[in-house]
Amino acid sequence: MARTPAPFAAFEWMIAWRYLRARRAEGGVSVMTWISLIGIALAVFALIATLAVRSGFRSEFVGTILGANAHVTIYKVAGVDDQGRIERSIADYDALATAVAAVPGVTRAAPLVRGQVMVNHRDRNSGAEVLGISAADLAALPGIAEGSGTIGDPARFDEGIAIGSELARDLGVGVGDRVKLISPEGVKTAFGTSPRVNAYEVVLVFSLGRYDIDRVRIYMPFAEAQSYFNREGVADELEVMVTDPENIDAMLPALMAAAGEGAQVWTWLDASGGFLRALEVEDNVMFVILSILVLIAAMNIVSGLIMLVKNKGRDIGILRTIGLSEGSVMRVFLICGAFTGLIGTAIGVILGCLFALYIDPIFSFVNYAMGGGVWDPAIRGIYNLPAELHLRDVLSAVALSLGLSVFVTLFPARRAARLNPVEALRYE
């Protein structure tokens, strides 16, 4: 009794390979194969490149936020002072900072003084946000301690101010220059409050990686900020840094307990959660759109296989006559379609990974070819196009491409398997 060959036997692979190498005179199948392969490769490349840029955007956005801003900000509930003004100052900020710093997972708790000023240098003026902070807390900020764009000596911070790189460029100042800070809430006199104007030396120019921050931020020594903004003996808020900012919600009960009654907590997710949710929605929509692009590219495989089945009708009839089963015929054409999808996917993965790894020189070339100005940080908030390659993104693209390639191949392969050999050989 004849033994039934195992699925995907060697002869099935041999027949499929011969069909894939069909010449132009045999129906142009090889041309359709190349078109299908290139389409799959470009679709997978676009999908991986988009996923890498998407991951890079989120990582860059979160990294610059966490490197330049507090993970958690603690305020006091607003009250009314003796003069009828809204008051949210923290008088016992040292004790509060000590209590919050003792919470497991907290790496730093620092009091801050915050205010708005006008900055003047010669004939240039600009608005700015001033943060009063101690020299030790400033040096602990990742964007300052590890920032590659920092110019100056952080050890001299108590002698002047630190200014953002974009703000320094707009004002035309550098380390060693003096700028004037003008605050509307200045000296109180019998005739009202007069603006306060003080001159400070720029001892540090920093770049935190976010244009909107580097454009407006100034750091001032904490004691000087208390005096300048009439906050003697108090702080405006408490800046808290934690080890796991992505899981900040789990720490809120402990932070609220340490802050005590009358405290309010504002996390970085509260401040930027809307933008992150918008990014997630955009990511999902882009994945669906690019998945449709992969599906369209995979449909070229169907066209090629339908032509192949039509051109090889006589061969299929002969194979069925000599004993080849429907399953074997189906697997032959399934191999043809899946192999095309596999090669196209492999090429697309290589191109996509190379794009993500070498995005900086690629983008520099595009910027040069377009005459510059392709990427405006004033609009996009960051200085370059980020890309971050993750294994899960590559695997999702590969699974989608191969899955669709096999799925769309089933119909023409099934059609070839059910071809009647009598009808296929009738007119031969």
The DSSP call for residue 28 is S
Which range of residues forms the domain containing residue 243? 78-261
The DSSP call for residue 373 is -
pTM over 0.85: no
Backbone angles phi, psi at 111, to 5 degrees: -75, 145
Given this model, what pLDDT does residue 415 score? Answer: 74
- 48 occurs within a structural domain: yes
Residue 35 and residue 107 in one domain: no
Taking only the tens of pLDDT, the chain with its 428 residues reads 455 566 666 666 777 677 666 555 554 456 777 788 888 899 999 999 988 888 887 777 777 667 677 888 888 876 655 555 566 788 888 888 889 999 998 988 889 999 999 999 988 999 999 999 988 888 877 767 666 667 888 888 889 999 988 899 999 999 989 999 998 876 666 566 678 889 999 999 988 777 778 889 999 999 999 989 888 888 988 989 888 888 888 888 899 888 888 788 888 888 777 777 887 888 888 888 888 888 888 887 777 777 766 666 666 666 666 666 667 777 777 887 788 888 889 999 999 999 888 887 887 777 777 776 656 555 455 656 778 888 888 999 899 988 888 888 887 777 776 666 655 555 55
- 101 occurs within a structural domain: yes
Domain count of the fold of the chain = 2
Residue 385 and residue 294 in one domain: yes
Q: How many of the other CB atoms lie within 10 Å of CB of 56?
A: 20
Candidates 62, 378, 374, 70; CA nearest to 216 is 378
Given this model, what pLDDT does residue 203 score? Answer: 92
- 30 occurs within a structural domain: yes
Residue 294 and residue 232 in one domain: no
Domain stop point among 232, 261, 290: 261
Beta bridge partners of 130: 115, 218
- 70 occurs within a structural domain: no
Q: What are the start-end ranges of the H helices in 358-390? A: 359-369, 377-380
